[in-house]
Amino acid sequence: MSVTLALALAAAQMQGMDHAGHMPGMTMPMHRPAATPKPKPRAVKRPTRHRATAMPMPEVAACSPEHAAMGHCEAPASIPATGPSEPCPPEHAAMGHCTAASRDAMASGTALPVGNAPAPAAPAPIYADRVWGAGAMAPARARLRQEHGGMTFTQVMLNIAELQPRGGRDGYRWDGAAWFGGDVDRLVVKSEGDGRFGTRTSGEVQALYSRAIGPYFNVQGGVRQDIGANRRYAVAGVEGLAPYWFDVEATAFVSDHGDVLARVEGYYDQRITQRLILQPRAELNLSAQQVVQDRIGAGLVDAELGVRLRYELHREFAPYVGVSWERAFGATRRLRGDDGGAVVALGVRAWF
């Protein structure tokens, strides 16, 4: 027992010795390197919170009537917040912005109650008057009306300007008008006539005031002066666009000698293509009495029927070729000694 105990103590002593005291050639156990400590994660730098600073506010615009009506601001004393003709809609009434009117008060159009009360006045869109005033807006509205239908226009229309070859007795004829004015009131000058080369020309010039009596018709009145004769007439008539696009004209004349004459004429533009147009035309002259010095008999004086085919090189300029048939009737035929007949017409139609 004593020997075993001595050996155990010796072994324990040898294990506790320092490495430097080991014998050369002894194999020493390997030592593991110490673990490398992990790097600590960098702390994320959080953005510094700054206290919000008050930004300069833009200048507040004037309180509009709409915002004042919803209670968002106070309208100036000179500007009413709401107009008398603006009822409170249900949506604004539900939000407390205004007081809803009764159903009968808000009714309009076909929703009005049955009765004999006069119709309410139509509301006028004059909202700008609340800001600028009625006096300041009146010139602007007048200018707007003038530039959308109230302007002044001018037109010169030469419907007939033609030569009529007659085998040595060639003739000519013209018929045109010019007007100056607006959509309702105009000054109109008309002229028409005919003749033969080398002989006296017969024709007339009219100066008329024209007044629109509807979208398609005008009434006219004025004076007429005959060319080549010392005779004047008072003129009254009507002209316009009849249904189916017939241009018609009816005129009465009363001379300074008391003679009463009348004229009815009309034509129609039948478009064959966009540029080729066929124009049938008719004219009748009548007289209430016989005027010997002017070679006019009572009743139907004469008639002219014609058809002209024109080609529009431009809308404002169109040469044409046509045929015109003319004849006098009754006492006029005897006074004139002319049986009339058909003639070829070569001419041009122009306007500007």
pLDDT exceeding 70 applies to what percent of the chain? 72
d(Cα 171, Cα 196) in Å, to the nearest integer? 4
Lowest mean pLDDT among 140-149, 177-186, 247-256, 295-304: 140-149
> How confident is residue 84, by pLDDT bands cut at 50, 70 and 90?
very low
Lowest mean pLDDT among 51-65, 67-81, 121-135, 217-231: 51-65
CATH superfamily of the domain spanning 153-351: monomeric porin ompg (2.40.160.40)
The pLDDT assigned to 1 comes to 47
Beta bridge mates, 350: 158, 317
Question: Any residues with CB less than 8 A from the CB of 258 and at least 6 apart, and which?
Answer: none
Identify the H or E element spanning 13.
helix 2-15
- Alpha carbon 289 to its chain centroid, in Å, reads 51
> How confident is residue 321, by pLDDT bands cut at 50, 70 and 90?
very high
Q: Over the stretch 274-291, which tens digit does the pLDDT of each residue have?
A: 999 999 999 999 999 999
Tell me if residue 93 falls in helix, strand or coil.
helix
The pLDDT assigned to 20 comes to 42
Q: Which ranges of 65-201 would DSSP assign to H, the alpha helix? A: 65-69, 90-94, 103-106, 129-132, 134-147
What residue ranges do the domains of the chain occupy? Answer: 153-351
Confidence check: pLDDT of 180 > 70: yes
Phi-psi domain of 41 (left: phi exceeds 0; alpha: psi -120 through 50; beta: other): beta
Residue 72 or 251, more confident: 251
Phi-psi domain of 172 (left: phi exceeds 0; alpha: psi -120 through 50; beta: other): beta
Identify the H or E element spanning 234.
strand 232-242
> How confident is residue 81, by pLDDT bands cut at 50, 70 and 90?
very low
> How confident is residue 79, by pLDDT bands cut at 50, 70 and 90?
very low
Confidence check: pLDDT of 211 > 50: yes
Q: How far is CA 6 from CA 9, 15, 21, 92, 294, in A?
A: 5, 15, 21, 111, 180
The pLDDT assigned to 252 comes to 98
d(Cα 300, Cα 284) in Å, to the nearest integer? 8
DSSP string, 264-305: EEEEE-EESSSSEEEEEEEEEEEESS-BGGGTB-SEEEEEEE
Give the count of alpha carbons within 13 A of 38, CB side only. 3
The pLDDT assigned to 157 comes to 96
d(Cα 114, Cα 279) in Å, to the nearest integer? 55
Q: Confirm whether pTM is higher than 0.75.
A: no
The pLDDT assigned to 77 comes to 54
Q: Over the stretch 29-56, which tens digit does the pLDDT of each residue have?
A: 444 555 555 555 565 555 555 454 545 5
Residue 68 or 150, more confident: 150
The whole-number average pLDDT for the span 292-310 is 94
List the structure tokens of 113.
Answer: 């109650």
The rounded mean pLDDT for the chain is 81
> How confident is residue 111, by pLDDT bands cut at 50, 70 and 90?
confident
Query: Of 134, 180, 138, which is closest to residue 157 (Cα–Cα)?
Result: 180
Strands 185-196 and 202-212, sheet pairing: antiparallel
The pLDDT assigned to 177 comes to 97
Residue 160 or 99, more confident: 160
The whole-number average pLDDT for the span 151-156 is 92
Question: Any residues with CB less than 8 A from the CB of 42 and at least 6 apart, and which?
Answer: none
Residue 83 or 159, more confident: 159
The pLDDT assigned to 337 comes to 83
d(Cα 345, Cα 265) in Å, to the nearest integer? 18
Token look-up 């809803």 returns: 100
Query: Of 206, 241, 236, 238, which is closest to residue 224 (Cα–Cα)?
Result: 206
